[in-house]
Structure 1
Amino acid sequence: MRAGTSIADALRSAHVLDGGMASELEYLGANIDGPLWSAHVLEDAPEKIVAVHRAYIEAGADIIETASYQVSRMGYAEVGLDPALAGAALLRSVSLAREAASAAHGKRVLIAASLGPYGAALHNGAEYHGNYTCTFADLIAFHADRIKILANANGQESPDLLAFETLPSLVEAVAIGQALKPYPELAAWFTFTCVDQEHVAHGEPLRQCAAAVAAFPQTTAVGVNCTHPTLISALIAELRAASDKPIVVYPNSGEGWDAQNRCWTGTGDPASFASQAADWLAAGAQIIGGCCRTRPAHIHQVARLFP
């Protein structure tokens, strides 16, 4: 992995991040119904993952996230798979992103290894409230396992930075900081999922969470993801008050999930998303992309806002 200082410098300029992975894989015909979501596709149809990465790069993204949000030894064991497969899948996700980026015709594309929270490995939506029954030591061990794999990766399997995302709580962020301690040279960003204009999903103030992770030597950016776009401008103000780190935001499309009927509701118009993104850029966000239900069309509209 590249030295964290060089990535930190790179992230202080404006960047376009990619959009949703799992939903885009669905549009390509991939089956993500299983508990591992897009991680299933790493095994079954890796060429579709490369196609999604390339679509986002062509749309204007110069940072892409790997298809590894749901990949962990614990998560694989939870669904009856050999936990040893998780490490190989994690490295494969980086290689696929590198393969896609290699076709960018001289454009520098950064690879961020997507690392979901502990709750994502439980496959029960716990990442959206953070009320886990595990110990603090369990949280450290969970994150340390994946960090070690990526920290020791080389060549095509080595990401530029680690993206700890959809974090619901301060305690999990602090646990990740503990897990990162043996690797001061790594680069990472931390993004939280929020329920209103001030608080993360578990209830702590975003300002407190951002200040805590900004103190880690590995932190290159702080931000918010998997959150309704109408909350983002206010949340950027909270992030700016917490630290001077670059700010990364990648909210959902604006559609809502109807858990009872298992369907999405509302609309996710790319032009409307870009109009809001202009406000986020003006408010101080340096890195802007999309999360659930955003597509290359959304990212193309966002990219048009950047010089």
Structure 2
Amino acid sequence: MALEHPSFTILDGGMGRLLERLGAPFRLPEWSALSLIEAPDYVTRAHQAYVDSGADIITTNSYGLVPHMLGEERFSADGRALADRAGRLARAVADAAGRRVLVAGSLPPPFESYRPERFQAGEAPRIIESLVGGLRPHVDLWLVETQSSTVEALTALSAVIGDGKPVYVSYTLKDEDGRTGPTELRSGEPVSEAVRKTLAAGASGIFFNCSQPEVMGEAVRAARQAAGDAGASAFIGVYANAFAPEPPSDTPYAGISDIRADLDPENYLKWIERWLADGASVVGGCCGIGPEHIDAIRSFRAARDAA
């Protein structure tokens, strides 16, 4: 199924911090996967909160279903079954929504987020195939998210491009405080180059996520320009996080990041309006952006559509 809203499409918000707020089992390094393993009812509640807030797309809770978060032994034994569970939970909530809600199958970085240098081309297909096998029966589209490099993204894209479902690739950007100059992926690749490669490989759209709001607008404009130059029709989406910028750590998951005080629903909505003006057609939130933010976006869309 394609994304079709006459105004713009609303993606859900972050899963991990919402699960923590709901009182679900939550610790590092498992992050959001722990609830899926020990208390899946909380995952259902989180999906329902986003549907109730107005999301048109909910994303499977499969971001943590990778060996460096689950551990290799648990991943090998249970990874596919847990992906199937994540897909089933999201599908059940979407089907009961009483309106059209799509399920996006989340395909995360198979190794560490923000660390393009740790990508292992020989190992990645095994991890991705486990996720795809469990999720495929339950999802309407694929969301290859928080990708730090094109090689990372195109490896995942190649695993799902032939199954008839739209595939959206979402890149994470360099977002250090005071950053100037062209917007780049965390690998250092220019956004325009990444967009051209990704659309040429068959992606239905380009998103940007898990980065500061301040860097997103330039990325959207660069993506729109690159798609236009290539003569490609593509959805462009944005779902920023609410964390303060942090340099990569040599210790994975050393702690849980603080949430910015200036990204309440009212202020986050101001960014949404800018991204829509820049050319985005899909908007939502990543880490630290919750149902209250999605509800604000829904209300804004309703008022704009009624005007």
TM-score (norm 2): 0.85
- Alignment partner of 2:49: what SS? helix
Which residue in the other structure is 1:112 paired with? 104
CA displacement at 1:139 relative to structure 2: 2.7
Superposed displacement of residue 100, structure 1: 1.6
The change in CA–CA distance for 1:175 and 1:48 in structure 2 (over 3 A counts) is same
**Structure 1 residue 13, shift from structure 2 partner:** 6.1
1:150 aligned partner? 135
2:116 to 113, 130, 133: 130
Residue 274 of structure 1 is matched in structure 2 by: 269
User: Where does structure 2 lack aligned partners over 5 or more consecutive residues?
Assistant: 176-181, 228-232
Where does 1:1-307 land on structure 2 (aligned, <5 Å)?
A: 7-8=1-2, 10=4, 14-72=8-66, 76-78=70-72, 80-81=73-74, 83-105=76-98, 107-119=99-111, 126-132=112-118, 134=120, 136-151=121-136, 153=137, 158-180=138-160, 183-196=162-175, 198-217=183-202, 219-243=203-227, 244-253=233-242, 255-256=244-245, 262-264=256-258, 266-267=260-261, 268-306=263-301, 307=305
Deviation at 1:37, TM superposition (A): 1.1
Quote how far apart the aligned CAs of 1:261 are.
Answer: 7.2
User: For structure 1, which segment, 110-119 or 96-105, has the greater mean C-alpha deviation from structure 2 after superposition?
Assistant: 96-105
Q: Structure 1 residues 35 and 163, CA, compared in 2 at 3 Å: closer, same or farther?
A: same
Rounded Cα–Cα distance in structure 1 between residues aligned with 2:255 and 2:95 = 41
Distance 2:83 2:255 in 1: 32
Q: Distance in 1 between matches of 2:74 and 2:294?
A: 34
Cα pair 2:18 2:290 within 8 Å, conserved: yes
Q: Distance in 2 between matches of 1:192 and 1:34?
A: 23
Secondary structure, in 3 states, of the residue corresponding to 1:112?
Answer: strand
**CA–CA distance in 1 between the matches of 2:188 and 2:152?**
13
Distance 1:257 1:205, change over 3 A: closer
> Is the 8 Å Cα contact of residues 104 and 140 (structure 2) preserved in structure 1?
yes
CA pair 68-82 structure 1, distance change in 2 beyond 3 A: closer
Cα contact 1:11–1:220 (8 A) shared by 2? no
Question: Hey, what's the Cα distance between the residues in 1 that align with 2:122 and 2:160?
Answer: 14
Q: How big is the shift at 1:112? A: 0.2
Q: CA deviation at 1:24?
A: 0.3
In 2, are the aligned partners of 1:16 and 1:62 still within 8 Å (CA)? yes
Whether the aligned pair in 2 keeps the contact of 1:70 and 1:115 (CA below 8 Å) is no
Cα 1:54–1:150, aligned 2, differ >3 Å: closer, same or farther? closer
Return the TM-score normalized by structure 1. 0.85
Q: CA deviation at 1:303?
A: 1.6
Alignment length, in residue pairs?
Answer: 285
Q: Pick which of 69-78 and 82-91 moved more.
A: 69-78
SS of residue paired to 2:23: coil
CA distance in 2, matches of 1:261, 1:46: 24
On the 8 A contact 1:11/1:221 being kept in 2, the answer is no
**Aligned equivalent of 1:123:** none
Q: How many Å apart are 1:58 and its aligned residue?
A: 1.1
The offset of 1:250, in angstroms, is 0.4
Identity of aligned residues (%): 31
Q: Which runs of 5+ in 1 are unaligned?
A: 1-6, 120-125
Offset at 1:74?
Answer: 7.0
Q: What is the DSSP-based 3-state SS (H/G/I as helix, E as strand, rest coil) of the residue aligned with 2:51?
A: helix
Q: Please give the alpha-carbon distance, in whole angstroms, between the structure 2 residues aligned to 1:230 and 1:281.
A: 14
In 1, are the aligned partners of 2:242 and 2:288 still within 8 Å (CA)?
yes
| Deviation of the 1:162 alpha carbon | 1.2
| Alpha-carbon RMSD | 2.3
Measured in 1, the distance between the counterparts of 2:155 and 2:94 equals: 32
* Structure 1 residue 65 displacement after superposition: 0.3
Offset of 1:295 from its aligned partner?
Answer: 0.8
Q: CA deviation at 1:185?
A: 1.9
- Once residues 18 and 237 of structure 2 are traced to their aligned partners in structure 1, the CA distance between those partners, rounded to angstroms, is 21
Alpha-carbon shift at residue 12 of structure 1 (Å): 8.3
Deviations 1:169-221 (A, max 9, x none): 1111222233335x25232110000014510011111111121111233x222
